[in-house]
Amino acid sequence: MAPKFDPKKIEKLEDPKRLKIFNPDILFKELGLNNFKNILDFGVGSGFYLPYLAKILKPEGKIYAIDLQNELLEYAKNKSKKFKLSEKIEFLLVKEKEALPFSENFFDFVYLAFTFHELDNPDFTLREIKRILIPGGKLLLIDWNKKERDMGPPPSEVFDYEEIENHLMASNLKILKTFKNHPYVFIFLAEK
């Protein structure tokens, strides 16, 4: 739908102002997201959310961070070293519209932030996410809303609420909770 994120603009992903959109610690707590064994950060970008995801991991748990742009993966990898998280995170380069390199029923949490509007084939990706989630495993999908905003891509490049809802329903993921009226984003918590 929209062009892929331009790695030259990586500082936008690292902008602390992003924490004003939502604070991941507070959101995860509010949604009861904690104590996961295997987390997938789908479209990891610069790795902005990795330190927050690490906090909701079991001590023996692991984060798998995927992206289709090597430059971003390398940046996120270096960042994870800085945060002393290297041992907990595996970074993998993936290709659009190819099956994800994970077996079915593997993840208990998939985090898909600000990436849905960049997917070439959202239904394919959601089917893949459903395949690799364990029964009861959760997907947290967060993406820009279609309002005029002072941050993020133009509204014409993102989905409206009903479109995301329809894609989730088409993939047979069960929607548990949504935030529809947030000033910047739509948030969907879904379950396999």
Residues that bind ligand SAM (CB under 6 A): 4-5, 13, 43-46, 48-49, 66-69, 72, 94, 96, 113-115, 118-119
Look-up of token digits 């927050």: 52
Minimum CB distance to ligand SAM smaller for 54 or for 59: 54
Coil, strand or helix at 147: coil
Q: Smaller CB distance to ligand SAM: residue 55 or 59?
A: 55
Q: d(Cα 157, Cα 25) in Å, to the nearest integer?
A: 28
Pairing status of strand 107-113 against strand 57-67 = unpaired
Among residues 98, 103, 192, 178, which one has the least CA distance to residue 142? 178
Minimum separation from the CB atom of position 58 to ligand SAM (A): 22
SS3 74: helix
Q: Are 52 and 75 in contact (CB under 8 A)?
A: no
Tell me how far, at minimum, the Cβ of 118 lies from ligand SAM, in Å: 4
Q: Which residues contact 101 (CB under 8 A, 6 or more apart)?
A: 92, 94
| Token pair listed for 87 | 């041992």
Closest-by-Cβ residue to ligand SAM is 45
Q: In a 3-state reduction of DSSP, which class is residue 133?
A: strand
Residue 74 or 165: which CB sits closer to ligand SAM?
Answer: 74
Question: Buried (b) or exposed (e) across 117-131, using 16+ Cβ within 10 A?
Answer: bbbeebeebbebbbb
The nearest distance, CB 165 to ligand SAM, in angstroms, is 20
Q: How far is the CB of 187 from ligand SAM (least distance, A)?
A: 13
Question: What is the smallest separation between the CB atom of 120 and ligand SAM, expressed in angstroms?
Answer: 7
Q: Of 18 and 60, which CB lies nearer to ligand SAM in the complex structure?
A: 18
**Nearest approach, Cβ of residue 111 and ligand SAM (Å):** 8
Of 98 and 104, nearer to ligand SAM (C-beta) is 98
Task: Indicate the residue among 59 and 147 with the shorter CB distance to ligand SAM.
Answer: 147
